[in-house]
Amino acid sequence: MSRRRLVIIIIFAVLTILYPSFIWAHKAPSSPTRYNYPINKTYKVQWANLKEIQSPTGMYFDFSIGPGFLYFSKLKGNLTPKPSESFSNFSGVDFGNIQKFSYNKTALYEAMVSARIFPWLKCGLSFYGQSGVSVESFGGSTITSAGNPAWSIFRSDLQLYSVMFKFFLENPRPLIVGNWAFNTYFGLGVGPGWQSWTNNQVFETVIINSTLTSTQMSLRNKFSANAVWTADTGLSFTPATNDATMMIRLGCKYTSWGQMREIGELKDQEVKVAPLRPIKARNVYSFSPYIGIKWCF
């Protein structure tokens, strides 16, 4: 994420947090039909009924964003070229199994439209996305049959998307502190998801007579669909009124993106050169702390 975008997101988040306080400062607190919990300068702490601080309308739009920390479980693959005759400089090498992926951190974002079923239950459709991920793996190092040091690197561009049915459970007894209502929630979603692995490249490098020689192996793009699920929990806070139209959410979500299907199978390549064992992972998953905003309309 660029510095400019990060600054814009921070400014937007700060203004969003300050906006309800500005509204509170310019509204008369004495209207009994408008404020269930009027301004309390002593900041008395009390428990409320969730229904009393919800807007009469029951449709919501949510947007949240935060860094997506990706993990790849049971990662496998061997970047040793096959057939070896196509890479004569790498005769007799075996790079072994890929150990781990490194990648640049990008934002995981979510947009959701939901409806209130009960005061404590909301259901809706959610769109998840994380793009611009550049993945790289050190494939291993070894010595060729001629005694030359060699190593390999795998690189790819990854994009993740999903559309899920999601529901939120909210604590029916929020905590009122002064003019604000604080509440906990838990969300769970499931739906189809897509992984897009493009620009897949394997770079084989060997040093011969103090000269660095590199060979590039291009692998076909891989697009795969999986069942995706997510779990989401956090803390929400909103002005303690029965007509508040905005809520701030701070939380963390876990998302399981499903399998990373085989990249680099020999039968898939136009030029019949491929890694000794295709690159795959049993599961791609992420953790994402986030800030979210919910509007009622």
d(CA 246, CA 225): 35
> What is residue 95's predicted lDDT score, i.e. its pLDDT?
82
- Whether the CB-CB separation of 45 and 174 falls below 8 Å is answered with no
pLDDT, mean over the chain? 82
Any residues with CB less than 8 A from the CB of 196 and at least 6 apart, and which?
158, 159, 160, 161, 221, 222, 223
Q: Is the pLDDT of residue 63 over 80?
A: yes
Mean pLDDT is highest, among 69-83, 127-141, 160-174, 235-249, for 160-174
The residue written with tokens 């700060």 in the block is 14
Q: d(Cα 3, Cα 46) in Å, to the nearest integer?
A: 41
> Mean pLDDT, to the nearest integer, of 131-148?
84
d(Cα 202, Cα 269) in Å, to the nearest integer?
Answer: 13
> For the purposes of burial, counting CB atoms within 10 Å of the CB of 153, is it exposed (0-12), middle (13-18) or buried (19 or more)?
middle
The pLDDT tens digits of the residues spanning 143-188 come to 777 787 888 889 999 999 999 999 999 999 999 888 889 999 999 9
pLDDT per residue as tens digits for the range 179-238: 889 999 999 999 999 999 999 998 888 888 778 877 888 899 999 999 999 999 999 998
pTM summary value: 0.79
For the chain, domain boundaries: 46-296
Q: Which residues, 6 or more positions from 52, have their beta carbon under 8 angstroms from its beta carbon?
A: 36, 242
Provide the token pair at 89. Answer: 């400089």
Domain 46-296 has CATH 2.40.160.20: yes
- Rounded to an integer, the average pLDDT of 20-44 is 42
